[in-house]
Amino acid sequence: MSSKATTIEVLFDKIEDYTKTTIELTKLSAVDKSADVLSSLISRVTVSIVVVMFMLLLNFGLSFWIGELLGSTYYGFFIVAAFYLIVSILLHVNKDAWIKMPVSNLIIAKILKNKEHEK
């Protein structure tokens, strides 16, 4: 009888160890995926900031140049502003297809990346 009790105790100990290990592995996997998504996001934001700064300076130069060609500086700024108004309308109309879905797909791909490598 004591042999069966000992075997059951050993079995419960192994089940407890397995459960703790599985929980710890799940936590570490979640941390890894979160860190991967966050680092990818931060790197993209950093690159985006540099691109925005470039575009800002380019737009100022373009506005002044167009204004000089048309004889008045503010004409250049109005033309560049009208261009961005058209771009913003297009982005608003197509935001799901051009922005939401690609970003969602990127995040999902980052999260599921390790599962594909395991197969």
This prediction's pTM = 0.63
Please provide the average confidence, as pLDDT, over all residues in the chain: 89
Give the pLDDT score at 34. 87
Q: Cα-flanking dihedrals φ and ψ of residue 94, to 5°? A: -110, 25
Give the pLDDT score at 36. 84
At 39-73, the pLDDT tens digits run: 888 998 999 999 999 999 999 999 999 999 999 99
Which bin fits 71, alpha (ψ -120 to 50), beta or left (φ > 0)? left
Is 80 exceeded by the pLDDT of residue 119? no
Give the pLDDT score at 114. 60
Distances (CA, A) of 80 to 68, 73, 86: 13, 11, 10
- Which amino acid belongs to residue 38? L
